[in-house]
Amino acid sequence: MTRKFIVTVNNEEYEVLVEEIVDGEIGKIKTMETPNSQATASMEKTVQPSAKSTPQQKTEQSMDSRGHSVVAPLPGVVLKILVKQGEEVSLGQTLLILEAMKMENEINSPVAGVISSILVNPNQNVNTNDLLITVE
């Protein structure tokens, strides 16, 4: 049996067909409509169990004129900020604690460097991909 779903990836909507697993056979996800052909190729994947990753592993970073950006991996509330502007940090050092779904999530530095800006405050609500801290 095939079922149709709408999946959002990086703010792009994809209409997909998902085949039901029958007699232990693993189905396929196939993209029906995508914004571009490159996305189509990347969306065709075999459905298999995957290891769950922690929010810390999903923390996105990017390099811009202000340094490495540390963004919220999920919506939550900033509980504690463990660093100060101008402080040197090491790769993987915990920068702040973000509470999400009643769990405390450590947000770690993606690089060794110096904290160039802290853009949030304790008890502040943040959304996924909100900029939290920059490290130069």
Residues 94-130 pLDDT 10s? 999 999 989 999 999 999 999 999 999 999 999 999 9
Mean pLDDT of 62-67: 53
Alpha helices in the chain (DSSP H): 37-43, 55-58
Confidence of residue 12 (pLDDT cuts 50, 70, 90): confident
Q: Are 28 and 19 in contact (CB under 8 A)?
A: yes
Q: Please state, rounded to an integer, the average pLDDT across all residues of the chain.
A: 75
Q: Domain 55-135: which topology?
A: OB fold (Dihydrolipoamide Acetyltransferase, E2P) (2.40.50)
What phi and psi, each to the nearest 5 degrees, are found at residue 48? -140, 155
Q: Are 119 and 82 in contact (CB under 8 A)?
A: no
Confidence of residue 131 (pLDDT cuts 50, 70, 90): very high
Model confidence at 65: pLDDT above 90: no
Q: Which residues contact 56 (CB under 8 A, 6 or more apart)?
A: 73, 105, 106, 107, 108
Mean pLDDT of 15-30: 62
pLDDT of residue 82: 97
Model confidence at 91: pLDDT above 70: yes
pLDDT of residue 62: 47
Rounded to two decimals, the pTM is 0.53
> Which segments of the chain belong to CATH 2.40.50.100?
55-135
Mean pLDDT of 129-136: 94
